[in-house]
Amino acid sequence: MTGKRRIYLDNAATTPVIPEVVQAMEPYWNKTFGNPSSLHEEGRKARVAIEDARRTIAKLLNVKPSEIFFTSGGTEAANTVITGGFLELGWKSIIITQTEHKCVIKPAERLSKHGVTIVKVPVDTTGKVKLQELQDAITKAEKPALVATIHGNNEIGTINPLDDIAEIVKPYKDVYWLVDMVQTIGHIPIDLSKWDIDFAFASAHKFHGPKGCGFLFMKEGLPSIPLILGGAQERNMRAGTENVAGIVGTATALTWMTTNLDKHYNYLLNLKKTFIEGLRTLSHNIEINGPDYEDSLPTIVNVRFPNIEDPLILQMSLDIEGISASIGSACASGATEQSHVLQAIGVSPREASIRFSFSPLNTEDEIKETLHIISKIIKI
């Protein structure tokens, strides 16, 4: 007996690994299995695979291979910059936006217990950082300071204006800039040399690579700020035996996504338009949290249902009908309070909101079926 067909629309939480990535990773589990720190042939082959992957990623992002450091994902990378940077560079102030991911907010808040001043800059109703408030916060901050700005928001899809933020941040020689690119790398054009960013990070499982692998970009010339100690791996930036298969898979996935970037972007934008226009046809009460198309990721739509109070019931109803979507960030699943992102843009906690997120593997038929199921649920 076969189960009900599932429609997976939670790609901002994680994406399925594509066959090309599985094929690229497979030899590094049971054939080329050497420790890349070993000097014998098995170790040397593993080391070559890592450095080839590093060069591939660096070329795709227009940076130097020496500026890419492999991590277990975005959370580790963010913690490395925030906590490792505090230990090595001595942050006096950390300035973040209200809509940062918790992997930035939580380590920053912990440092407030150690005398670091934390400033949260407000955003407008679309989720964009308020630039004048950011300017004011940087001007007043005790230095050295770290500024953290999310590029593409993981809950509502808002894209922050890096060109404008760069003009504000970079005149200050004792202010460092960290950018969360977890939802943008692999999905929109990224040239990391364009904005003079100090730190940026990504997670492979957001662009059809493996879980548990990602990377930190750190601009050349900055001092080492390790968080994990115990070995000389990653040029003394991240101790621990490297995840060779995961690193190979990360480079393969990013190559696949970037090579097909324009095709994927246009395809996803059409899916998003079909979904939003369909929702507006279903009910004039349904609203989009954050921007709909302009300055927004094509992969994310956060939908508010004003006549439904409990988002968990709505999510469970979708799940029963075969639709995988989420209330907010997967990292905050199980939390009973409203999303801090939705709070920041003024969404009422008495109105249920659900995030739907797409990948190039989704189809227009799946979007239409989802709209049909939503119409049944809101009528009930």
Asked if 194 and 278 sit in the same domain, the reply is no
Q: pLDDT tens digits for 124-170? A: 999 999 999 999 999 999 999 999 999 999 999 999 999 999 999 99
Ramachandran sector of residue 212 (left: φ over 0; alpha: ψ -120 to 50; beta: rest): left
Residue 189 lies in a domain: yes
Contact 357, 300 (CB under 8 A): yes
Q: Are residues 235 and 128 in the same domain?
A: yes
Same domain (yes/no): 189, 319: no
Provide the edge-to-edge strand list for the sheet that holds 199-203: 68-71, 214-218, 199-203, 175-180, 145-150, 93-97, 117-121
Looking at the fold, whether 212 and 273 belong to one and the same domain comes out as: no
Q: How many CA atoms lie within 13 A of 250 on its CB side?
A: 35
Token code pair at residue 142: 């005790």
Domain CATH for 345:
3.90.1150.10
Tell me: the pLDDT tens digits for 344-357? 999 988 889 999 99
- Beta strands 175-180; 199-203: pairing state: parallel
Q: Give SS3 for 216.
A: strand
Structural domain includes residue 2: no
Are residues 265 and 242 both part of a single domain? Answer: no
Residue 343 has pLDDT above 80, yes or no: yes
Answer whether residue 1 is part of any domain. no
Q: Which range is least confidently modeled, 18-22, 47-51, 121-125, 350-354?
A: 350-354
* pLDDT tens-digit map of 68-122: 999 999 999 999 999 999 999 999 999 999 999 999 999 999 999 999 999 999 9
d(CA 146, CA 179): 11
Q: What is the mean pLDDT of residues 330-346?
A: 76
End residue of a domain, out of 237, 259, 281: 259
Active site residue 103: no
Domain range for 134: 19-259
User: Among the three residues 229, 259, 289, which one is the final residue of a domain in this structure?
Assistant: 259
Residue 2 has pLDDT above 60, yes or no: no
Residue 358 pLDDT greater than 70, yes or no: yes
pLDDT at 1: 37
Structural domain tally of the chain? 2
Reported confidence tier of residue 27, pLDDT bands at 50, 70, 90: very high
Q: Are 71 and 216 in contact (CB under 8 A)?
A: yes
228, 189: one domain? yes
pLDDT band at 336 (very low <50, low <70, confident <90, very high): low
* Cα separations in angstroms, 259 against 55, 60, 189, 191: 16, 9, 11, 14
% residues pLDDT > 90 (the chain): 92
Same domain for 229 and 124: yes
**Same domain for 205 and 129?**
yes
- Over residues 60-66, the mean pLDDT reads 98
In this structure, the answer to whether residues 134 and 273 fall within a common structural domain is: no
Return the pLDDT at 380: 57
**Out of 166, 261, 331, 377, which one is annotated catalytic?**
331
Closest by Cα among 243, 219, 190, 258 to 76? 243
Average pLDDT over residues 31-38: 96
Pairing outcome for strands 117-121 and 145-150: unpaired
SS (H, E, C) 44-98: HHHHHHHHHHHHHHHHHHCCCHHHEEEECCHHHHHHHHHHHHHHHHCCCEEEEEC
**C-beta separation of 16 from 361 below 8 A:** yes
Q: Same structural domain for residues 11 and 24?
A: no
Per-residue pLDDT reduced to its tens digit, 171-220: 999 999 999 999 999 999 999 999 999 999 999 999 999 999 999 999 99
Band the pLDDT of 335: cuts 50, 70, 90. Answer: low
- Of 259, 285, 315, which closes a domain? 259
Which residues, listed in sequence order, are joined to residue 145 by a DSSP beta bridge? Answer: 93, 175
Identify any residues that bridge with 305 across adjacent strands, giving them in sequence order. 352
The pLDDT assigned to 167 comes to 98
pLDDT over threshold 70, residue 302: yes
pLDDT number for residue 269: 98
Q: What is the pLDDT of residue 174?
A: 97
User: Do 163 and 296 lie in a common domain?
Assistant: no
Q: Classify residue 131: in a domain, yes or no.
A: yes
